[in-house]
Structure 1
Amino acid sequence: MENNNGTDRSAERLGFITRVQSFSACHRLHSKSLTDEENKRIFGKCNNPNGHGHNYKVEVTVRGKIDRNTGMVMNLTDLKQYIEEAIMKPLDHKNLDLDVPYFANVVRYEKHHIILLLLSFHTCRLFTCNNPCYSLFDSTTENLAVYIWDNMVKLLPPNMLYEIKVYETDKNIVIYRGE
């Protein structure tokens, strides 16, 4: 069945939904792979030994076929609950470097350029580096976006998560699409 502009109304349509959520957290940008002097030069005031805080804003965008029966890509109540589980509970009013295991529980054994990362009580990964190895999980906004993606993708139906956009400030924004 065609409508006035000649498009087939029975064709499946793809829709996008974005939900915005804010949370507050603190962190310190400091890489153990760099000297204190290098950290100060690279990270500036974000390397403050006492850390600093942000009022982050996150946009979670999902995509999917618009259901012909409900008219929805997904139920917004479900999306809100997934965001609560993946973002708010683990991150809101937390010190990212101390309270979030993804950033806090990374144990590095650097001997003969082999690094063992203890990611949880059940998961270990072994990396070999020919050059000095850099921290894989510093609490940068880029890594925060990846962390949020990884948490959200576990909760959402397959292939539904489209984009995570993290506003560290009004002027500093990171976008991650799982690539």
Structure 2
Amino acid sequence: MIYITRKEHFNAAHKLYREDWSKEKNEELFGRCANANWHGHNYDLYVTIKGNINPDTGFVIDLKELKDIILVNVIDKLDHRNLNLDVDFMKGKMASTEVLAIEIWKQLESHIAARGAQLHSIKLYETANNYVEYFGD
């Protein structure tokens, strides 16, 4: 079994806010992240897959195919978008980095499996100091 990682980048805006809470409660819990005018991040996404090397190609997966899967199913939907308003797979969900990582996993898992590999992890950097890792259920 071998692991391979592809890094991508996107910029997106969001806010952390629950409509069923008061403005004061949202601000108390989420602070500046509850800003009514949104805020943005420059995200770095690391997609790690695992599998056995195909003896004919020497690959677990063709990295161009992996790049295309990530771009079409994730980056094109997220880059320069508002996570709360513009992204179909984030509708009705809290736009935290944790939830975003899980939803990215859901967008990629079947496409990677169809190529004979397995999604191992999603690592999503919100800032240089803050990131989450998700390894599936």
1:98-129 Cα deviation digits (max 9, x unpaired): 1012333x3xxxxxxxxxxxxxxxxxxxxxxx
2:108 counterpart of 1:89: no
Structure 1 residue runs of 4+, over 6 Å off? none
Q: How many residues align?
A: 135
1:42-66 Cα deviation digits (max 9, x unpaired): 1111110000000000000000001
* Partner SS, residue 97 of structure 1: coil
| In structure 1, C-alpha distance between the alignment counterparts of 2:90 and 2:23, rounded to whole Å | 19
Q: AA paired with 1:30? A: Y
| In structure 1, C-alpha distance between the alignment counterparts of 2:5 and 2:124, rounded to whole Å | 13
2:86 counterpart of 1:154: no
* Partner SS, residue 58 of structure 2: coil
2:126 counterpart of 1:168: yes
* Partner SS, residue 50 of structure 1: coil
| In structure 2, C-alpha distance between the alignment counterparts of 1:17 and 1:71, rounded to whole Å | 13
% identity of equivalent residues: 40
Stretches of structure 1 that go unaligned for 5 or more consecutive residues are 1-13, 107-136
Aligned runs of 1:44-123 on 2, under 5 Å? 44-104=31-91, 106=92
Change (3 A) 1:103 1:70: closer
- The residue that corresponds to 1:133 in the other structure is none
* Partner SS, residue 99 of structure 1: coil
Greater Cα radius of gyration, structure 1 or 2:
1
**Residues 90 and 100 of structure 2 are in contact (CA less than 8 Å); yes or no, is this contact kept in structure 1?**
no
Normalised by the length of structure 2, the TM-score is 0.93
Higher helix share: 2
* Partner SS, residue 60 of structure 2: coil
Q: How much does 1:71 deviate?
A: 1.5
| In structure 2, C-alpha distance between the alignment counterparts of 1:35 and 1:102, rounded to whole Å | 26
Q: How much does 1:72 deviate?
A: 1.2
Specify which structure has the bigger relative contact order, considering alpha-carbon pairs within 8 angstroms and separated by 6 or more residues: 2
Q: How much does 1:77 deviate?
A: 0.7
Cα RMSD (Å) of the superposition?
1.2
2:132 counterpart of 1:178: no
2:18 counterpart of 1:25: no
* Partner SS, residue 56 of structure 1: strand
| In structure 2, C-alpha distance between the alignment counterparts of 1:83 and 1:138, rounded to whole Å | 22
Q: AA paired with 1:51? A: W
